[in-house]
């Protein structure tokens, strides 16, 4: 486990925000962020390195630009944006220990700090001479600590401070509220207050060369007119595009598109004149649809296509897109007032790229002019795990849908022997190296395989209706277990389930109503859909609150009896499955308290581990290691130690 923590990777240890290479506008140079954790010192080191593409055709070494060591939760270096071939801008931790905007001049070799925000900076966008960034806001507790008002008050249990303060490590929010938006153009800086709401999504910030800014805000979609107009529309939650116009030197809020964001996660492509941009959205019926938005006069929203993920405007009437399916690039052109696809072809390939897969650590490689590739940098030299990973096919019940999942086979696997199984949920990506699974939040696939477990990393289901989500996932897990058992590789009496974040709800539903009896469960900073979870969400985003309510059946506090009847922690209390609750931050602790108390009263084995400062994806090496070890020990205790090893099966079994 310590070896895994010390891996040097080309991205933050989080499946949601991979850090790949950053190409300069003319592709002559590439920058790359690497990071690794030092367990002994409990710090993370981030390096920003540069490669000259032309020189690397023969031989090259990286040029180290910046190296940062951090002990807090902010990433040391992130969000690199090139301004031109010789200047790049990025976020990195400054002397205050919080992320700030820095610029680097490759000609002079000088680094300059461009922001001095008291609470750090979260979002960053650059276009030509325009720069936009968002400050993090100060934490605003819902209540006050009397000790801060009356200095003479003494509380003997100092751990109480962990609960009283509005900590930011919960599943719904990994940072304090949003502070102010700053836009710099032509030496003039404009500022706009965002109100401290965590609903703004700073990673979606974009800026045009004119200084116009787009930013997404997560809101309950049932508050929007286009949803209210639909008959019996379900109370869904989603993202809304908002524009902050910078004309005439002033910033003003203007809502442009009352739609949820579709494939692409809110990426915006600006036209060269800054008067138009493209965005992948969902139409009023919920289907993908990319639109062009004109800003002159009355906002004009035009449909481009359903399969176009915007990449780059070539002119105001020609846009390069990526096919939604991921297989081709295409050029769309506006002709006779309509957007039409005029060409399609293979995805354009960058000359320098990260080469990795689920069973192969990342290396930096370069495409050669005459064909083939060469390795520029082995990011984890000599790294070997000794664990075999395969991509396996499973068939979903009812629909017949085929899914691909990752299977980590136990060390020393022997055909004909049935193994204890741990199902890790919430995502599988065959294209990226994930040594322990999806995230750093207690996933421990390699470590469990070392102990003799067969581990399955499952992708999420296509989003079912909220009222059917629990049942759908319960059937999903049952089907996977059935197939592993039929293949002769799984011991159906020794199955563990892990839920992190959203899939905590799915695991609770499976414990309650699944056909299989689970021997152990681990819930890490997870959503429960319970009453306490909804109360704890008062300090988080409106979208998170709405989702918790929807999972509980859409009820509200005006009918608390329904909350109790529908509460997954209470409904699953009768299940005898031993449960480990690992919680990060005060809101997560309050939400998990319902599970903890009910299981204790039902005399079900339960343990609660509280990490007051951990993020939703823990970053600090010691926290990551502790969460991982506790997970491995829990499964070992209840699926290995507490039972006798079964006799070897007479069947041949699968080969990994």
Is 322 in the same domain as 441? no
Q: Is residue 277 located within the same domain as residue 332?
A: yes
Give, in order, the Cα–Cα distances in Å from 456 to each of 414, 438, 580, 583: 17, 11, 19, 23
CB atoms within 10 A of CB 486: 11
Residue 107 lies in a domain: no
Give residue 649's pLDDT. 40
Instruction: Please check whether residue 183 lies inside any domain of the structure.
Output: no
Q: Is residue 320 part of a domain?
A: yes
Asked if 612 and 488 sit in the same domain, the reply is: yes
3-state secondary structure of 359: coil
- Pair 541, 564: CB distance under 8 Å: no
Residue 295, domain member (yes or no): yes
Structural domain harbouring 342 = 259-349
- Residue 364: partners with Cβ closer than 8 Å, 6 or more residues away: 10, 21, 32, 51, 352, 353, 354, 355, 375, 376, 377, 379
Neighbour-count burial for 626-648, b at 16+ CB within 10 Å, e otherwise:
bbbebbbebbbebbbeeeeeeee
Strand, helix or coil for residue 221: helix
Give yes or no: residues 551 and 447 share one domain.
Answer: yes
- C-alpha 9/C-alpha 33 separation (Å) is 9
pLDDT score recorded for residue 559: 65
HSE-up of 20 (CA within 13 Å, CB side)? Answer: 13
Q: b or e along 122-132 (b: 16 or more beta carbons within 10 Å of the residue's beta carbon)?
A: bbbbbbbebbb
pTM: 0.87
Statement to judge: residues 400 and 513 lie in one domain? yes
Cα R_g (the chain), whole angstroms: 25
- Considering only CA atoms, which of 574, 631, 297, 585 is closest in space to residue 445? 631
Give the 3-state secondary structure percentages of the chain, helix then strand then coil, rounded to 5: 20, 40, 40
Is residue 114 within 8 A of residue 105, CB to CB? The reply is no
**Length of the chain, please?**
656
Q: Which residue is it, tokens 């000609």?
A: 107
Mark whether 525 and 601 lie in a shared domain: yes
Give the whole-angstrom CA distance, residue 368 versus residue 385: 31
Q: Are residues 266 and 340 in the same domain?
A: yes
Same domain, 401 and 313: no
Q: Is 130 helix (H, G, I), strand (E, B) or coil?
A: strand
Q: Please tell me whether residues 336 and 400 are part of one structural domain.
A: no
Same domain, 339 and 424: no
Q: Which of 317, 349, 381 is the last residue of a domain?
A: 349
Helix, strand or coil for residue 81? strand
DSSP codes, 136-164:
EPPP--SS--HHHH-TT---S-TTHHHHH
The continuous run of DSSP H or E covering 116 comes out as: none
pLDDT of residue 230: 43
**Residues 550 and 625 both lie in one domain:** yes
Pairing of strands 373-378, 389-395: unpaired
Residue at 620 is within a domain: yes
The ranges of the chain with pLDDT < 70 are 1-2, 13-19, 138-176, 220-253, 297, 325-326, 539, 554-560, 642-656
Given 322, 349, 376, the domain boundary residue is 349
Number of domains in the chain: 2
534 belongs to a structural domain: yes
What is the DSSP secondary structure assignment for residue 648, as one 8-state letter? P
Q: Kindly state the greatest CA–CA separation across the chain.
A: 79
CA-CA-CA-CA dihedral for 439, 441, 443, 448, to nearest 10: 140
In a domain, 170, yes or no: no
**Residue at a domain's end among 330, 349, 368:** 349
- The reported pLDDT for the residue numbered 30 is 95
Give the pLDDT confidence score for residue 171 in this predicted structure.
36
pLDDT tens digits for range 69-108: 999 888 899 889 999 999 999 999 998 888 999 999 999 9
In whole angstroms, what is the distance from residue 163 CA to residue 226 CA?
40
pLDDT at residue 231, as a whole number = 39
Look up the CATH number of the domain holding residue 494. 3.40.50.1820
My answer on whether 345 and 492 are in the same domain is: no
CB atoms within 10 A of CB 534: 24
**pLDDT of amino acid 83:** 92
Residue 101 lies in a domain: no
Q: How far apart are CA 10 and CA 356, in angstroms?
A: 10
The CA-atom distances, in angstroms, between 141 and each of 176, 364, 534 are: 10, 45, 17
If we measure between CA atoms, which residue out of 139, 162, 71, 2 comes closest to residue 610? 162
CB 503 within 8 A of CB 512: no
The set of residues, in sequence order, having a beta carbon less than 8 Å from that of 61 and lying 6+ positions away, is none
């Amino acid at each position: 486990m310590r070896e895994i923590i010390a891996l040097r990777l080309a991205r933050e240890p989080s499946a949601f925000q991979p850090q790949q290479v950053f190409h300069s506008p003319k592709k002559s140079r590439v920058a790359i962020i690497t990071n690794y954790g030092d367990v002994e010192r409990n710090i993370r080191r981030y390096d920003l390195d540069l490669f000259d593409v032309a020189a690397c055709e023969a031989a090259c070494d990286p040029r180290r630009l910046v190296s940062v060591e951090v002990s807090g939760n902010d990433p040391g270096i992130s969000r690199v944006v090139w301004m031109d071939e010789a200047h790049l801008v990025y976020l990195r931790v400054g002397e205050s220990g919080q992320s700030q905007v820095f610029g680097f001049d490759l000609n002079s070799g000088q680094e300059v700090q461009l922001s001095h925000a008291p609470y750090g900076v979260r979002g960053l966008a650059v276009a030509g001479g325009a720069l936009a960034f968002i400050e993090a806001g100060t934490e605003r507790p819902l209540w006050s600590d009397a000790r801060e008002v009356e200095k003479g008050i003494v509380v003997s249990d100092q751990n109480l401070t962990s609960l009283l303060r509005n900590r930011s490590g919960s599943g719904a929010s990994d940072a304090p509220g949003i502070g102010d938006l700053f836009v710099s153009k032509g030496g003039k800086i404009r500022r706009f207050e965002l109100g401290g709401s965590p609903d703004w999504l700073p990673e979606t910030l974009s800026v045009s060369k004119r200084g116009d800014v787009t930013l997404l805000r997560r809101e309950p979609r049932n508050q929007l007119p286009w949803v209210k107009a639909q008959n019996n529309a379900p109370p869904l939650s989603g993202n809304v595009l908002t524009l902050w116009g910078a004309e005439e030197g002033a910033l003003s809020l203007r809502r442009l598109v009352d739609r949820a964001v579709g494939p692409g996660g809110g990426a915006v492509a600006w036209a060269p004149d800054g008067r138009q941009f493209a965005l992948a959205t969902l139409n009023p019926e919920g289907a993908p649809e990319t639109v062009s938005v004109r800003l002159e006069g009355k906002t004009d929203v035009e449909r481009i296509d359903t399969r176009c993920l915007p990449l780059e405007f070539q002119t105001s009437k020609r846009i390069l897109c990526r096919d939604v399916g991921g297989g081709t690039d295409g050029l769309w052109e506006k002709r006779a007032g309509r957007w039409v696809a005029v060409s399609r072809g293979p995805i354009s390939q960058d000359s320098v790229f990260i080469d990795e897969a689920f069973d192969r650590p990342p290396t930096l490689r370069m495409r050669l002019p005459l064909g083939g590739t060469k390795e520029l940098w082995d990011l984890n030299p000599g790294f070997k795990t000794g664990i075999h990973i395969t991509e396996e096919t499973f068939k979903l019940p009812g629909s017949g849908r085929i899914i691909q999942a990752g299977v980590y086979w136990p060390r020393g696997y022997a055909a004909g022997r049935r193994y204890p199984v741990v199902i890790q949920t919430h995502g599988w990506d065959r294209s990226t190296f994930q040594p322990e699974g999806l995230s750093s939040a207690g996933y421990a696939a390699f470590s469990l395989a070392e102990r003799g477990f067969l581990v399955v990393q499952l992708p999420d289901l296509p989003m079912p209706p909220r009222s059917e989500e629990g049942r759908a996932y319960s059937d999903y897990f049952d089907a996977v277990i059935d197939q592993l058992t039929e293949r002769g590789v799984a011991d159906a009496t020794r199955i563990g389930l892990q839920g992190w974040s959203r899939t905590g709800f799915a695991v609770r539903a499976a414990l309650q109503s699944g056909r299989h009896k689970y021997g152990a469960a681990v819930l890490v900073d997870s959503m429960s859909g319970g009453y306490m979870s909804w109360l704890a969400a008062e300090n988080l985003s409106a979208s998170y609150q709405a989702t918790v309510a929807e999972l509980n059946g859409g009820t509200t506090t005006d009918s608390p009896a329904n909350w109790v009847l529908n509460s997954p922690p209470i409904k699953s209390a009768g299940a005898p499955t031993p449960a480990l609750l690992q919680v990060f931050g005060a809101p997560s602790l309050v939400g998990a308290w319902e599970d903890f108390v009910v299981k204790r009263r039902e005399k079900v084995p339960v343990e609660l581990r509280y990490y007051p400062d951990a993020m939703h994806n823990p970053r600090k090496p010691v926290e990551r290691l502790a969460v991982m070890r506790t997970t491995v020990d829990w499964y070992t205790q209840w699926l290995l130690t507490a039972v006798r090893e079964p006799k070897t099966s007479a069947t041949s079994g699968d080969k990994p």
